[in-house]
Structure 1
Amino acid sequence: MNSLRNSVRLVGNLGMDPEVKVYDTDKKMVRLSIATNETYKNDKGEKVTDTQWHNLVFWGMQAKIAEDLLKKGDEVAIEGKLTNRSYTDKEGIKRYISEVVVNEFLKVGRN
């Protein structure tokens, strides 16, 4: 049950091509965004689609594979853990961001 404490699973479409960063230690990181859609009917019986965007981070070998295989629009299934961090932007304002650090992913669909 310990693996359930911080576990995220999402299936959606990528909103961007991989953004690759290589650090001094030759450690590779890839950032992507994924859109997930939920469809429901509102009070008037109209079909409504709610899209949520999620930030993804890949490290090491997962980053290398993501860089080689994934592109904007691909449908993927991911599993990872939710992380939160803060940074100071160019204007000196402290910003907060939530990201999913991806442990595993699977490209689905026909692409």
Structure 2
Amino acid sequence: MARGINKVILVGNLGNEPDIKYTQSGMTITNISLATSSGRKDREGNTQERTEWHRVKFFGKLGEIAAEYLHKGSQCYIEGTIRYDKFTGQDGQERYVTEIIADQMQMLGGRDEGSKGSPRKTVLPRQRSDKNAYKTWKEEEVVDDEIPF
């Protein structure tokens, strides 16, 4: 029987500085908010732009690299999988979160791209995540409050 495919590819810009947390075993977890924009023409021929915001989570060595090199405004290419999680908030209400679990990342643009525009070039080669990092993280507790709100 064929297996399903869960693959996400994003190219966008960071909306804020990376949020870094550590598990009890010391593994790095870095969260970013990535904006992607697309446009289409309406009936009158005007271009309508729409921006989507994606929650992206990096684990292990890839999380360390993302925390060090990505900054607000940085453009990057991300490959990963989509995850849907459910948790109970402090108010007792069930909450749902959709995240991209990154397993590859490539920084785009110049070194100071986050502060001003510059020619596009690769800063570092594509980085790969440890495939077992997400599983390890799910099995242990995170030191910081893991609720995304």
RMSD: 1.5
The normalised TM-score by structure 1 is: 0.93
Partner of 1:9: 9
Shift of 1:44: 1.1
Deviation per residue, 1:25-76 (Å, 9 max, x gap): 1111011010100011111111110111111000000000001000111011
Counterparts of 1:41 and 1:80, CA distance in 2: 30
Shift of 1:90: 2.0
1:69–1:102 distance in 2 versus 1, CA, 3 Å: same
Structure with greater strand share of residues: 1
Is 2:52 aligned against 1:45? no
The normalised TM-score by structure 2 is: 0.70
Unpaired runs of at least 5, structure 1: none
Computing the radius of gyration from Cα coordinates, the structure with the larger value is: 2
Moved more, 3-12 or 54-63: 3-12
1:3–1:50 distance in 2 versus 1, CA, 3 Å: farther
Report percent identity of matched pairs.
31
Counterparts of 2:52 and 2:9, CA distance in 1: 14
Unpaired runs of at least 5, structure 2: 114-149
Shift of 1:3: 8.9
List structure 1 segments (4+ residues) > 3 angstroms apart after TM superposition: none
Counterparts of 1:24 and 1:83, CA distance in 2: 22
- Which amino acid is the alignment partner of residue 78 of structure 2? I
Greater relative contact order (Cα 8 A, min sep 6): structure 1 or 2? Answer: 1
The alignment covers a number of residue pairs equal to 110
Give matches, 1:39-78, under 5 Å.
39-78=39-78
